[in-house]
Amino acid sequence: MAKHMLDSIDKALLNIIQGGFPLKAEPYEELGRMAGVSGDEALFRVRRLVEAGVVRKVGPFFDARKMGSASTLCAVHVPLERIEHVASVVNSRPEVTHNYQRDGVPNLWFTVIAPSKEAIGEVVSDICERAGIRLVHNIPAARMFKVKVDLKVE
């Protein structure tokens, strides 16, 4: 991803939306009002931030456990020359909510949420088959610890 230059309005929008998206009939009008621009300008800028990869997702997050779903953390080790390909295979699955490259072994960690443990197994198997992964550490969630982090964009 190329570095995206943020101006003061982009930064204001990022600070606003990470704290909570307005639950209004016209949320971008409210965002614009809060950032000092029109609703159309707020929508344009948020879309541009998503397209640039600055914002990963604009949408609701549901508590999968309360909805009866299962989740797991997966860890794999991928040669660096294959990391982009494997990450794209992982990211192609809508059940994957997070995917991060880390230093060390394993070096690619991702979270899968699906309706059941069996469905998680199918997703992980599909990812492994398509990405050529032989060994995956599948670490099902036993307890959930949610830490909310708001990063002030300056």
Residue 1 has pLDDT above 50, yes or no: no
Kindly state whether residues 91 and 40 are assigned to the same domain: no
Q: 133 and 85, same structural domain?
A: yes
Q: What is the average pLDDT across 20-37?
A: 93
List Cβ neighbours of 54 (8 Å cut-off, separation of 6 or more). 4, 6, 10, 14
Task: Indicate whether 39 pLDDT > 60.
Answer: yes
Same-domain pairing of 135 and 75: yes
Query: Which residue, 63, 67, 71, is CA-closest to 139?
Result: 71
The pLDDT of residue 85: 96
Q: Kindly report the pTM of this predicted structure.
A: 0.64
Cα 43 to the center of its chain, rounded Å: 20
CA distances from residue 78 to 5, 109, 124, 151 in whole angstroms, order as listed: 31, 10, 15, 30
Per-residue pLDDT, 130 = 97
Range of the domain at 107: 70-140
Domain assignment present for 145: no
Asked if the structure places residue 62 within a domain, the reply is: no
| Domain identity same for 75 and 129 | yes
Are residues 13 and 47 part of one domain? Answer: yes
**Is residue 150 assigned to a domain?**
no
Same domain, 94 and 128: yes
Task: Flag whether 146 is in a domain.
Answer: no
CATH of the domain at 132: 3.30.70.3460
Q: Does any domain span residue 44?
A: yes
Q: Do 120 and 83 fall within a single domain? A: yes
The pLDDT confidence band at residue 148, using thresholds 50, 70 and 90, is: low
Residue 24 lies in a domain: yes
In-domain check, residue 117: yes
Q: Based on the structure, what is the number of domains in the chain?
A: 2
Q: What is the pLDDT of residues 97-121, one digit of tens each?
A: 889 999 999 999 999 999 999 999 9
Q: Tell me: do 75 and 133 sit in the same domain.
A: yes
Residue at 92 is within a domain: yes
pLDDT at 151: 67
47 and 91 inside one domain: no
